[in-house]
Amino acid sequence: MEYFLLTLVTGISMGCTFGLVGLAFTAIFNASRVINFANGDLAVVGAFAASLFVFSGKAHPVIGFLAVLALPVVAGLLINWLVEPSVKRKAPIINSILITMGGGLIIVGLIGIYTNFSYFNTGYVFGTKPLLLGGILRISPQYAAILVVTAALSLAYWLFLNKTALGLALRALGINADMASLVGINTMTYRMLTWASSSIISGIAGFLIAPLIVPTALMGLPVVVNGFIAAVIGGFGHPLAAVTGGIILGLLIQFFSAYVHGGMAQLVVFPVLLVVLVFRPTGIWGLKLQ
C-alpha cells in the first residue's frame, strides 16, 4: 500500500513537471502558432541558473531566484528574435520548428561548454523532511512544491488567458495575427511577452525537476518530448490540458516502471501517444484547433 501511494505521488509530481513544460508549449502556441522545440532547453537554463545561484548558496536566495526567472527569459527572447522573421513572413511551420531547435542547440551548446556537459549542482531548497499528509501519505517537500507550483501556475495562466484584456489580445493574436494588428495589437511586443512568460514557466520546471533527476545540459530532449506528449494527450491549446495530460503520462510511466519493467517506461508512452493521436487527435479536453 505504501509502495502504491509512493508511486502515485511520484507519478503525479513527475507528471506535473511534464505538464509545466507542456504549459509553456501551449502559451507560445496560443499566441503565435509556433511550436517551441527549445522548451526543454529553456528548462535546462532554469536548472543551470539554479545550480549557479541557488544551490551553490553563494548568492542571496532572493537574487538567486530572480536569476532563475531571468536567465530563461533572456534565452527565450533570443530564440524569439531568431524565429520572428519566419513568423512574420508566414514561412512553413517546419521552418520555425527547426529554428527554435537550432536556437535551443545554441543555448545548450553554450551551457555545455561552460559545464563540460557534466552534472549541475543540485540541492533541496525546500528541505528533505517528508511531510505527513492524512496520517499515511508521506510526501517529500520537493514533490509538494512541484504540485503547488504547477497548480498555481496553470490556474494563473488560465485566468490570465480567459479573464484579462491582455489574455484576450494574446488569443486574438494566435487566431489571426493580421487582424490582431489591425485592431491595434502590437504583435511583436505581445509575442515577446508570450515568449518571456513561457520561458519563465520552462525555467521554473527546470528548477523544480533538477534535484529529482541528474541534470546535465542534455536533459532538455526527454523533457521536451514528454512535455509535448503531455500537451497532446491533454489537448493542444487548452490551458489546463497540459497538466491533465502530464499527470496521466507521469502516472503511466511511474506505474509501468514500478510494476512491469523499469527500463522500458519510455516505450509504453509511444503506443499510448499513437492511440491518442489516431482516435482522439484533439486530446482529452477536445479543443478544436484553428
Partner 1 sequence: MRKASVMSMKKNILSELLKFFLASVAIVSIFLFSFYGSGIALHFAMVGLTGAILAQGLNIFYGYCGQINFGSAGFFAIGGYGVALLEKYMHMPYFVSLILSVAIAGLIALLMTLPLLRLREYMLALGTLAFGLAIYETVSKGFTSYTGGEDGINMSKLKIFGTPVGDTFFFYVFLIATLLCLWVSYALRNSRTGRAMVSISQDEIAATSLGVNINKYLVQAFVLSGIIPALAGGLFVKWTGWCSPEYFSLKNSILILLAVVVGGTGSGIGAAMGGFMMFLLQEILVPLAIYEMLAYGVILCIFLLFMPRGIKGGITSFVKWLEGVSGR
CB of 232 to partner 1, least distance (A): 6
Three cell numbers at 244?
A: 491533465
Q: Is residue 200 a contact point for partner 1 (CB under 8 A)?
A: no
CB of 143 to partner 1, least distance (A): 25
Rank residues 166 and 260 by Cβ distance to partner 1 and give the closer one: 260
Q: Is residue 264 a contact point for partner 1 (CB under 8 A)?
A: yes
Rank residues 66 and 106 by Cβ distance to partner 1 and give the closer one: 106
Q: Is residue 281 a contact point for partner 1 (CB under 8 A)?
A: yes
SS3 139: strand
Q: Is residue 273 a contact point for partner 1 (CB under 8 A)?
A: yes
CA separation (Å) from 241 to 112, 154, 272?
Answer: 32, 9, 16
CA dihedral sign, ordered 56, 61, 63, 69: positive
Rank residues 102 and 141 by Cβ distance to partner 1 and give the closer one: 102
Stretch binding partner 1 (CB under 8 A), from 69-77, 122-130, 170-178, 259-267: 259-267
Please list every residue from 71 through 130 that binds partner 1, using CB under 8 A: 82, 85-86, 92-95, 97-99, 101-110, 112-113, 116-117
Residue 81's closest CA among 38, 119, 134?
A: 38
Three cell numbers at 180?
A: 490582431
Question: Count of CB atoms within 10 A of residue 288's CB?
Answer: 7
CA atoms of 101 and 39, how far apart (whole Å): 9
First to last CA, the chain: 45
Name residues whose C-beta falls within 8 Å of residue 264's C-beta, 6 or more positions apart in sequence. Answer: 256, 257
Rank residues 116 and 189 by Cβ distance to partner 1 and give the closer one: 116
Distance of CA 218 to the CA centre of its chain: 16
How many residues in the shown chain lie near partner 1 by CB under 8 A?
A: 42
Q: Is residue 286 a contact point for partner 1 (CB under 8 A)?
A: no
E strands within the chain?
Answer: 131-133, 137-139
CB of 11 to partner 1, least distance (A): 19
CB of 30 to partner 1, least distance (A): 14
Which chain residues interact with partner 1 by CB under 8 A? 35, 82, 85-86, 92-95, 97-99, 101-110, 112-113, 116-117, 217, 221, 225, 228-229, 232, 263-264, 266-267, 269-270, 273-274, 277-278, 281
